[in-house]
């Protein structure tokens, strides 16, 4: 924006091209703002104000060409036998002062706007969480207490990764929130937030991960969710047998498609209202989001959910399906090494190697093995079992000998299948390959 502002200033003396540049950018950004799904006529106001401010600024600091005419200025300078060095009436000085004041005012306003916008970023109106019909026992203590650097068994909400297309977080008032269920169903229905909370509440420990997570990456988090079963909600509308996809829509227009089967089978897909014992934060989908065990977030975890449409994969394509990502994608089994870190130098002797592993689509983790360089695979000790939809911590004690070493981990799922060692990029349906970490032993 600074560069464009400077460009406008340079262009302005030529037929007021600077003003036209502002107008052109204004039209472009007003169009962008007005075509947002939740836009109203006022969405164009900030842009109009910006164009007006920009043009006014150009007029104020570059009033006309002649004042900057170098010839005129030099004549004026010669005429002043004893020029009052730099009076405020000096056009250059006045221009600089005006421009400086306007820049400061603009910066202040921008800062104020950001503060106002961010003021409620994390907070949403709290509500009393209903009790689950069958509460789960508390989560067991994880291995992180004894292994510094290991991912906590339960990811704190503040550390939970965030991935979405929302430039501005949707601001939803739970009291006005409605969930529309339509498409190929027996009855089109609409649920209020209270309707939802009145249904049987379910607690579930589920690990969520992003399809764009590279091998060893950070786009994964695990927590205890509270919500209603997606299948209970869909049953109220009666999804017809001809539908194979539920297209879910977020307040901001983002769409995600999920197989009907994944939302209605025994895995227990949820419409969640809380994570880690507290209402969802705005970042994570307040007031209601989907959580579908075994599927990557982009095909099962719609945040700011407002609509469920029963349809078919042949008829409707979701946001990412038209942008190079697979229409359907199950989470791939993976093991990640958290400690030691890549490039770390460790002391010779006993070194704890530890991490997490997950296989939400294949009954959780039954084994994790580690090897040093091309050595034999050695079985790691597993942390507490929180169920097949949740990641599992692991740790292994290594007798480390000096030199550059490569640690590799691999997981075996609950069905006995070893994870794929074939290297695949995240696109189109999730990364695969073994996580390797190079360390130095001294």
Ligand X SMILES: Nc1nc2c(c(=O)[nH]1)N[C@H]1C(S)=C(S)[C@@H](COP(=O)(O)O)O[C@H]1N2
Residues that bind ligand X (CB under 6 A): 160-165, 208, 210, 250, 254, 284, 297-298, 301-304
Residues touching Mo ion, count (CB under 5 A): 4
Exposure letters 316-350 (e unless 16+ CB within 10 A, then b): eebbbbeeebbbbbbbbbbbbbbbbeeeeebeeee
Residue 303 or 389: the one with the smaller Cβ distance to ligand X is 303
Helix (H, G, I), strand (E, B) or coil at 387: coil
* Closest CB 319 distance from ligand X, rounded Å: 7
d(CA 61, CA 64): 9
C-beta atoms surrounding 122 within 10 Å = 13
Residue 162 or 178: the one with the smaller Cβ distance to ligand X is 162
* Closest CB 150 distance from ligand X, rounded Å: 20
Residue 177 or 396: the one with the smaller Cβ distance to ligand X is 177
Token pair 């050595």 is at which residue?
Answer: 375
For residues 142 and 383, the answer to whether their CB atoms sit within 8 Å is yes
Residues in 275-314 that interact with Mo ion by CB under 5 A: 297-298
C-beta atoms surrounding 27 within 10 Å = 13
Residue 157 or 436: the one with the smaller Cβ distance to Mo ion is 157
Residue 206's φ and ψ, nearest 5 degrees, are -135, 135
Contact partner, 301, from Mo ion, ligand X, none, Cβ < 5-8 Å per class:
ligand X
Residues in 398-437 that interact with Mo ion by CB under 5 A: none
* Closest CB 170 distance from ligand X, rounded Å: 8
d(CA 362, CA 384): 18
Residue 256 or 372: the one with the smaller Cβ distance to Mo ion is 256
Token pair 């929302």 is at which residue?
Answer: 166
| DSSP character at residue 367 | E
> What is the C-alpha end-to-end distance of the chain, expressed in Å?
50
Residue 302 or 412: the one with the smaller Cβ distance to ligand X is 302
* Closest CB 157 distance from Mo ion, rounded Å: 18
Residue 20 or 219: the one with the smaller Cβ distance to Mo ion is 219
d(CA 189, CA 195): 11
* Closest CB 161 distance from Mo ion, rounded Å: 9
For residues 157 and 206, the answer to whether their CB atoms sit within 8 Å is no
d(CA 21, CA 397): 64
Tokens describing residue 281: 């934060």
208 binds Mo ion (CB under 5 A): no
Contact partner, 260, from Mo ion, ligand X, none, Cβ < 5-8 Å per class:
none
Contact partner, 174, from ligand X, Mo ion, none, Cβ < 5-8 Å per class:
none
Token pair 């030199």 is at which residue?
Answer: 403
210 binds Mo ion (CB under 5 A): yes
- Peptide bond preceding 34 in cis form (omega within 30 of 0): no
* Closest CB 211 distance from Mo ion, rounded Å: 5
Residue 209 or 309: the one with the smaller Cβ distance to Mo ion is 209
Tokens describing residue 185: 């169903």
Binding mask 146-185 for Mo ion (x = CB under 5 A): -----------------x----------------------
Helix (H, G, I), strand (E, B) or coil at 184: coil
d(CA 297, CA 205): 15
Residue 303 or 435: the one with the smaller Cβ distance to ligand X is 303
- Which residues are 418's β-sheet partners? 412
* Closest CB 320 distance from Mo ion, rounded Å: 8
Contact partner, 127, from ligand X, Mo ion, none, Cβ < 5-8 Å per class:
none
Q: Which stretch binds Mo ion (CB under 5 A): 10-18, 24-32, 207-215, 262-270?
A: 207-215
In the complex, residue closest to ligand X by CB: 297
* Closest CB 296 distance from ligand X, rounded Å: 6
Q: Which stretch binds Mo ion (CB under 5 A): 116-124, 138-146, 208-216, 246-254?
A: 208-216
Residue 47 or 250: the one with the smaller Cβ distance to Mo ion is 250
d(CA 356, CA 219): 13
DSSP-H helix ranges across 188-255? 193-197, 230-237
Contact partner, 304, from Mo ion, ligand X, none, Cβ < 5-8 Å per class:
ligand X
Helix (H, G, I), strand (E, B) or coil at 254: coil
**Polymer length in residues for the chain:** 442
* Closest CB 159 distance from ligand X, rounded Å: 11
* Closest CB 365 distance from Mo ion, rounded Å: 21
Rg of the chain (C-alpha set): 29
Contact partner, 154, from Mo ion, ligand X, none, Cβ < 5-8 Å per class:
none
Residue 304 or 398: the one with the smaller Cβ distance to ligand X is 304
- Site residues (vs Mo ion, CB under 5 A): 163, 210, 297-298
């Amino acid at each position: 924006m600074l560069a464009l502002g400077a460009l406008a200033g340079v262009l302005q003396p030529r037929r007021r091209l600077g003003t036209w540049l502002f107008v052109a950018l204004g039209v472009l950004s007003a169009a962008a703002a007005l075509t947002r799904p939740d836009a109203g006529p006022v969405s164009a106001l900030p842009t109009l104000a910006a164009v007006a401010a920009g043009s006014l600024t150009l007029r104020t600091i570059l009033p006309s060409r002649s004042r900057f005419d170098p010839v005129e200025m030099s004549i004026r300078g010669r005429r002043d036998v004893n020029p009052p060095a730099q009076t405020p009436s000096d056009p250059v000085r006045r221009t600089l002062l005006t421009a400086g004041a306007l820049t400061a005012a603009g910066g202040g306003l921008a800062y104020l706007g950001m503060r106002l916008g961010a003021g409620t970023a994390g907070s949403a109106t709290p509500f009393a969480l209903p009790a689950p019909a069958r509460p789960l026992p508390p989560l067991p203590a994880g291995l992180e207490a004894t292994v510094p650097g290991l991912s906590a068994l339960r990811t704190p909400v503040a550390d939970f990764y965030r991935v979405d297309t929302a430039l501005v977080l949707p601001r939803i008032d739970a009291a006005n929130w409605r969930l529309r269920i339509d498409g190929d169903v027996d009855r089109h229905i609409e649920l209020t937030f209270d309707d939802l909370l009145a249904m049987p509440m379910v607690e579930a420990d589920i690990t969520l991960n992003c399809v764009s997570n590279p091998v060893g990456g950070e786009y994964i988090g695990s927590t205890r969710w509270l919500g209603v079963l997606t299948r209970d909600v869909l049953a109220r509308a009666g999804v017809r047998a001809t539908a194979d996809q539920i297209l879910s829509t977020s307040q901001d227009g983002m769409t995600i498609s999920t197989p009907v089967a994944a939302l209605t089978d025994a895995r227990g897909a949820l419409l969640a209202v809380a994570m880690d014992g507290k209402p969802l934060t705005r970042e994570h989908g307040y007031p209601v989001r989907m959580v579908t065990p075994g599927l990557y977030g982009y095909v099962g975890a719609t945040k700011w959910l407002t609509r469920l449409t029963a349809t078919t994969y042949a008829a409707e394509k979701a946001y990412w399906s038209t942008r190079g990502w697979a229409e359907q994608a199950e989470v791939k089994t993976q093991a990640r090494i958290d400690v030691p870190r890549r490039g770390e130098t460790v002391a010779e002797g006993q070194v704890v190697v530890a991490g997490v592993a997950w296989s939400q689509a294949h009954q959780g983790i039954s084994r994790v093995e580690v090897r040093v360089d091309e050595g034999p695979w050695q079985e790691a000790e597993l942390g507490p079992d929180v169920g097949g939809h949740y990641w599992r911590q692991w740790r292994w004690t290594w007798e480390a000998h000096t030199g550059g070493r490569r640690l590799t981990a691999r997981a075996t799922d609950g069905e006995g299948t070893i994870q794929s060692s074939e290297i695949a990029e995240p696109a189109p349906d999730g990364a695969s390959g073994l996580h390797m970490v190079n360390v130095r032993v001294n």
